[in-house]
Amino acid sequence: MRPVIIGSGMGGLAIGLILKKNGYSPIIYEKDKKYGGSFRSYKKGKYQIDTGLHMLTRGKTGELPILMKKYINPKIFEKHFVLQKHYKFHINDQGAPLPMNLSSLKNFPLLNAKEKTAFLRMFIHFLRLGRAGTEKYPNITAYNYINNKGFIASKKLLILLNAFSWMSTGCSIKEGALERFVDTFVRDKKLTGKYILKHIGPRADATEGDWYPKGGLKMVPKYFVNEGLDVKTKSKINKIYVKDNKVYAVKVGRKIVKTNMVIYDGLVKNLNKLIVGGTYKGKVPKTEDYEAITIWLGFKEKVADWDKESRVYCMNNLHSPHWGVFMTDFDSTLAPKGHQLFGISAILHKDKKTLVKEMEKTIEKMIPNYKKYVDMKYIQVNRAEKTLQKANNSMWNLPEQKTNIKGLYLVGTDTKAFGSGGTMCADSANRCWTYIQKDYKD
């Protein structure tokens, strides 16, 4: 019997690829007319835009590139998945690339010596905390933890950390989960002085390589599917049938498909609505339907030349952080020759009209008279990740990939996995595969 994967988001595709390369023949059912879930690109006039502003992290060492290098030709990866420069941080009119190591921190003009010392102490502390594990602090907010340790040396530092929180957790630092601030990937490493130096020394790169695929975000799912994955689009799964606490079939449209393995990439909070003959009893993420807003602008001529310093801009005041990218700096083919494609995103945490006005004010500040160059404008709103990483909904409160029902597994960004977005999808698929190997070893 073929394993059935419900949903073709990056979580579903990642476990699909792992199963396929390990001798299974999975079939992926996707209710939408295109595969990829939140990892997609589409045309707006002559421009190609993505499902929101994406910048993939851990291009050098993360779960997603490791998976792709292992199962998809590594040469393709090297050629098409391009490492990018780092975030640039702005407070009012002053901007500078975010420090990624000790040398760049030393030269970072936006913080004074006292603030830099606090920042460095916090960075080293977080390396240690990542090693020790944050699960001891399951419900503490990032702000409470950092503030109690005395690392918030000034309002400027708070603005910086708060902007990071909005981007990585979807909420302010006063609500955000602690582990998003901590490098949980150091868990298995020995924290020697040499190791710490490797993380802060002159060649260190705190993000371990931000990357973006040539040809746009859609290229990531495309490379997975090109490995021969069987994806049936416009195929909604309506039911998962369970008997004696084991899955035995799913219903696609009117068709019943027999299977002894179902992997679910949809929202965990909707899972029980699909199950007939049993109940999922695991954790259900406290998902709030939180959304991101992106203003896409096509410029008919070159309006800015930011790429000399860095490519991603984190624009800020304490209450409304938003961040923008000239996508054509990543890949010039996303726009007609000589044009520029710009995207600016924020979490939709307040009235849309007010937020759009604030974001437009920022654009005007960065690119004076920008409106006269615009030949495409599109405002996009979509779910940024399937779960909001608030302190009370941190990864320690998210469900395991294995469920109480035999043969039913979970993947995706509302399950317990490290990282964020694409990294989390790949990590969840790896964890799911570990369970499947044990459960189906005969």
Ligand X SMILES: Cc1cc2nc3c(=O)[nH]c(=O)nc-3n(C[C@H](O)[C@H](O)[C@H](O)COP(=O)(O)OP(=O)(O)OC[C@H]3O[C@@H](n4cnc5c(N)ncnc54)[C@H](O)[C@@H]3O)c2cc1C
In the complex, the smallest distance separating the C-beta of residue 147 from ligand X, rounded to whole angstroms, is 27
Closest CA to 64 of 321, 429, 346, 319: 429
**Residues near ligand X, by CB under 6 A:** 6-12, 29-32, 37-39, 51-56, 236-237, 265-266, 292, 294, 345, 382, 384-386, 412-413, 420-423, 425
Least distance from ligand X to the Cβ atom of residue 312, Å: 9
The distance of closest approach from Cβ of residue 344 to ligand X in the complex, given in angstroms and rounded to an integer, is 11
- Which whole-number Å values give the CA distances from 348 to 36, 69, 143, 242, 353, in the listed order? 23, 35, 21, 39, 10
Nearer to ligand X, 65 or 99 (CB): 65
Q: For residue 233, count other CB atoms closer than 10 A to its CB.
A: 13
Q: How many residues does the chain have?
A: 442
Cβ closer to ligand X: 120 or 291?
291
Judged by CB, which is closer to ligand X: 87, or 137?
87
- φ/ψ of residue 34, rounded to 5: -130, 150
Rg (the chain; Cα; Å): 22
Q: Which is nearer to ligand X, 116 or 311 (CB)?
A: 311
CA 322 – CA 366 distance, rounded (Å): 13
CB 2 within 8 A of CB 262: no
Cα 365 to its chain centre, rounded Å, is 28
- The answer to whether the CB of 310 falls within 8 A of the CB of 323 is no
Nearer to ligand X, 105 or 312 (CB): 312
**Residue in the structure block whose two tokens are 């954790």:** 283
> 344, 352, 341: which is closest to 374 by C-alpha?
341
Of 115 and 183, the one with the shorter C-beta distance to ligand X is 183
Structure tokens at 250: 């799913």
Supply the minimum distance, in Å, between the C-beta of residue 27 and ligand X: 12
Residues near 419 by beta carbon (within 8 Å), at least 6 away in sequence: 57, 58, 62, 63, 185, 426, 427
Decide whether 157 or 384 has the Cβ nearer to ligand X.
384
Alpha carbon distance 100, 107 (integer Å): 11
CB of 428 to ligand X, least distance (A): 7
Q: Which is nearer to ligand X, 145 or 213 (CB)?
A: 213
Nearer to ligand X, 9 or 137 (CB): 9
Query: Rounded to the nearest whole angstrom, what is the least distance from the CB of residue 217 to ligand X in the complex?
Result: 8
| CA gap 341, 336 in Å, rounded | 9
Identity of the residue, 20 or 386, whose beta carbon is nearer to ligand X in the bound complex: 386
Instruction: Give me the least distance between CB of 249 and ligand X, in Å please.
Output: 14
* Tokens (6 digits) for 256: 């019943």
Strand partners, 89: 96, 314
Q: Smallest distance from the beta carbon of 153 to ligand X, in angstroms?
A: 29
Q: Which residue's CB is nearer to ligand X, number 134 or number 420?
A: 420
User: 127, 189 in Cβ contact below 8 A?
Assistant: no
How far, in Å, are 222, 341, 371 from residue 363 at the CA level?
33, 13, 10
| Residue 345, C-beta contacts closer than 8 angstroms, at least 6 positions apart | 52, 53, 292, 293, 294, 295, 322, 323, 324
Q: Least separation, in Å, of the C-beta of 212 and ligand X? A: 9
Q: How far is the CB of 275 from ligand X (least distance, A)?
A: 11
Residue 400 is classified by DSSP as: P
Supply the minimum distance, in Å, between the C-beta of residue 324 and ligand X: 12
